[in-house]
Amino acid sequence: MIVLGLDLGGTKCLGLAVEDGRVVAEHRLPTPPAPRDVIDTVVAVADALIAATGEPAGIGIGAPGLVDRHGVLRAAPNLPGGDELAIGPEVAARTGRPVVVDNDATCATLGEWVSGAGVGARTLVMVTLGTGIGGGIVADGRISRGANGFAGEVGHMVIDPNGPPCPCGHRGCWERYASGSGLGRLAREAAHAGLAPRVVELAGGDPEMVRGEHVTAALAEGDPAAIRIVADLAWWLALGLANLANIFDPEKFVVGGGLVVMGEALFTATTQAFNGLVDAADRRPPIPISPAVLGERAGAVGAAALATEAAGT
């Protein structure tokens, strides 16, 4: 049986055709700027995969935002015009195939759980560190979706009500600290304090132009200031993971998203900070914090798993 898994993101739509758990085709298109064209793009990716591999049993789609149980994207801060986009019903009508839609981070979690870093875990929390922080939850062997399909919005857990403002309208959301944009903010603070000369140099000399990628580049060179900035980020990441550990008591955490390229520098510092922050660390097995392994394909792999599940096999 062939199923399609599509991951619609702010910059691209990545699609996979999966046959018996094995990827047999891949196709991608850039996400168009006009909201109305988004559906066209999703359909075009699906059509290209169908042309290459044959009739699918269904189509799974991961979408960036709050997806309700009818497959409607209700709010999508990172997809301009994506609010109230009836992606599931529209793609089903246009392709004539069964379509299931879920949040992109939920799909990535499902992908890593069925064939990535989370295989075999009964209780698992995945966080994806991109512009913001997405999250997905596996509780006692099942994906948790919540009453409206909105579960897992861990990035908007407030960890300091006097913290920096968040585009969501509140202050001190976790993703202001432990995401790509959080890294940029922490780095600019260090830059303005004169504590990150190499990072500023890489940003062209202006502290205000510092972004996360300049830290990543300086880190690759072994710059000590970049190492300190990443340790700072790791502390905030660990603080939120410790909160989630107290709430979920997971077997493991899987961390995905763009920041994972920092590798050991990030994971070692995060694990060390986490062990000092989680409750009752001496009374339970250590909770490993593992990098995701499916990379940019995680969401599409999970979306394909959704389609397989919906096909009842």
Give least dist CB 166 to its own copies, A.
10
- The reply to whether 272 sits near its own copies by the rule CB under 8 A is no
- The reply to whether 228 sits near its own copies by the rule CB under 8 A is no
Q: What distance in Å separates the CA atoms of residue 199 and residue 229, rounded to the nearest whole number? A: 10
Residues 6 or more apart whose Cβ sits within 8 Å of residue 313: 1, 57
Subset of residues 37 to 66 that bind its own copies, contact rule: CB under 8 A: 66
Nearer to its own copies, 125 or 303 (CB): 125
Which of the stretches 51-59, 106-114, 245-253, 299-307 binds its own copies when contact is defined by CB under 8 A? 245-253
Q: What distance in Å separates the CA atoms of residue 257 and residue 134, rounded to the nearest whole number? A: 9
- The reply to whether 313 sits near its own copies by the rule CB under 8 A is no
Give least dist CB 232 to its own copies, A.
12
- The reply to whether 134 sits near its own copies by the rule CB under 8 A is no
E strand segments, 110-229: 124-129, 133-139, 142-143
Q: What distance in Å separates the CA atoms of residue 20 and residue 226, rounded to the nearest whole number? A: 44
Nearer to its own copies, 95 or 123 (CB): 123
- The reply to whether 24 sits near its own copies by the rule CB under 8 A is no
Subset of residues 69 to 108 that bind its own copies, contact rule: CB under 8 A: 74-75
- The reply to whether 7 sits near its own copies by the rule CB under 8 A is no
Site string for its own copies, 151-170 (x = CB under 8 A): xxxx-xxxxxxx-----x-x
Residue 76's Cβ-side half-sphere holds a number of Cα atoms within 13 Å equal to: 26
Which string of DSSP letters, residue by residue, matches 205-253? Answer: S-GGG--HHHHHHHHHTT-HHHHHHHHHHHHHHHHHHHHHHHHH--SEE
State the residue for tokens 């432990």.
178
Q: What distance in Å separates the CA atoms of residue 257 and residue 39, rounded to the nearest whole number? A: 24
- The reply to whether 231 sits near its own copies by the rule CB under 8 A is no
Give least dist CB 307 to its own copies, A.
20
Residue 125: how many other CB atoms lie within 10 Å: 28
- Binding stretches for its own copies (CB under 8 A): 66, 74-75, 122-123, 135, 137, 139-140, 142, 144-154, 156-162, 168, 170, 239, 242-244, 246-251, 277, 279-280, 283-285
